[in-house]
């Protein structure tokens, strides 16, 4: 383990967690990134996966990964950037994915909540990135907003036709139990964010109760969607603890058990060759 972890007095040790989805390259962190990192370390966050919304973000994300060794990265293009998708994008992502820091392709997927004008482009970008993840044997990070049936359909076709099925995660999951089952049947992990802590998130909470323990992940998606009791504030990786504790409570399991299970699952999803 790193020196920071071993420097923590044993009485203060908390169970380890992995935040499987962060955007700490955003300018909300420009002023205090060192304090944010100190906070996640003392909260027991031992690894993080940095999502990527556009290849133009990649060099900044890699600089952060140099600075914070526990940060692994994804490379890809978000569905809301899909208007910019070209064949060259796939080539560029494939090259950037050569870095040993890269553990996933994404985030990609479909977002019909914010944008229904680019549906064919979103689908094309998603299908290309699935192919990349499969070819490169990397996880895929799937963003899905108001598009569960279309997302499941694309994944179903892909898993059926591909010589190498893709593994990955439904990130910041907001679906119903029925929708959740579609993605579980496709072999996907389901990652819960601060949404699960919101009082009225009944469907998401029902989903968090029914996911098998070996498919559960937790994330912040920071700087967005801070969990209760930080709702409305800037979100940060240390707060993944609130998400994990809420999911533990919903499932009536000890917090340490939930932390250990989600940490194991994250390693199997993103670092399967190091286990």
Q: Is 51 in the site for Ni ion (CB under 5 A)?
A: yes
Torsion sign over Cα 51, 264, 234, 65: negative
Stretch that binds Ni ion, among 44-52, 66-74, 112-120, 188-196 (CB under 5 A): 44-52
- Burial degree of 233 (CB within 10 A; 0-12, 13-18, 19+): exposed
Stretch that binds Ni ion, among 3-11, 25-33, 50-58, 261-269 (CB under 5 A): 50-58
Q: Is 128 in the site for Ni ion (CB under 5 A)?
A: no
Build a one-symbol-per-residue string for 220-249: x at contacts with Ni ion by CB under 5 A, - elsewhere: -x----------------------------
As measured in angstroms, the least distance from the Cβ of 222 to Ni ion is 9
As measured in angstroms, the least distance from the Cβ of 23 to Ni ion is 6
Instruction: Give backbone dihedrals phi and psi of 102, rounded to 5 degrees, phi first.
Output: -85, 125
Q: Which residues pair with 50 in a beta bridge?
A: 22, 73
Separation between Cα atoms, residue 74 and residue 101, nearest integer Å: 8
Tell me which residue has its CB nearest to Ni ion. Answer: 51
- The structure tokens listed for 55 are 């290849």
Q: Are strands 139-145 and 168-170 parallel, antiparallel or unpaired?
A: parallel
Stretch that binds Ni ion, among 8-16, 218-226, 234-242, 258-266 (CB under 5 A): 218-226
- The annotation status of 202 as a binding-site residue, yes or no, is no
**Residues placed in the known binding site for a divalent metal cation:** 21, 23, 107, 143, 171, 221
């Amino acid at each position: 383990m790193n020196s920071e972890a071993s420097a923590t007095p044993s009485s203060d040790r908390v169970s380890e967690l992995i935040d499987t989805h962060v955007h700490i390259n955003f300018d909300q962190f420009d002023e205090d990134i060192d304090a944010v990192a100190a906070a996640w370390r003392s909260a027991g966050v031992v690894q993080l996966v940095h999502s990527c919304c556009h290849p133009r973000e990649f060099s900044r994300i890699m600089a952060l990964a140099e600075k914070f060794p526990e940060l692994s990265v994804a490379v890809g293009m978000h569905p809301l950037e899909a208007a910019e998708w070209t064949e060259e994008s796939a080539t560029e992502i494939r090259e950037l994915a050569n870095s040993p820091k890269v553990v996933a392709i994404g985030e990609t997927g479909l977002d019909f909540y914010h944008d229904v004008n680019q549906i064919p482009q979103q689908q094309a970008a998603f299908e290309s990135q699935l192919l990349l993840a499969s070819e490169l044997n990397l996880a895929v990070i799937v963003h899905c907003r108001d598009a569960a049936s279309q997302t499941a359909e694309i994944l179903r076709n892909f898993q059926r036709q591909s010589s190498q099925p893709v593994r990955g995660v439904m990130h910041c999951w907001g679906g119903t139990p029925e929708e959740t089952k579609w993605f579980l049947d496709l072999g996907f992990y389901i990652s819960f964010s601060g949404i699960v802590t919101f009082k009225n998130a009944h469907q998401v909470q029902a989903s968090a109760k029914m996911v098998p323990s070996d498919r559960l992940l937790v994330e912040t998606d920071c700087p967005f969607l801070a969990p209760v009791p930080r709702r409305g504030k800037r979100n940060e990786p240390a707060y993944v603890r609130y998400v994990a504790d809420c999911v533990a409570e919903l499932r009536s399991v000890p917090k340490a058990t939930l932390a250990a299970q989600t940490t194991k699952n994250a390693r199997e999803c993103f670092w399967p060759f190091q286990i």
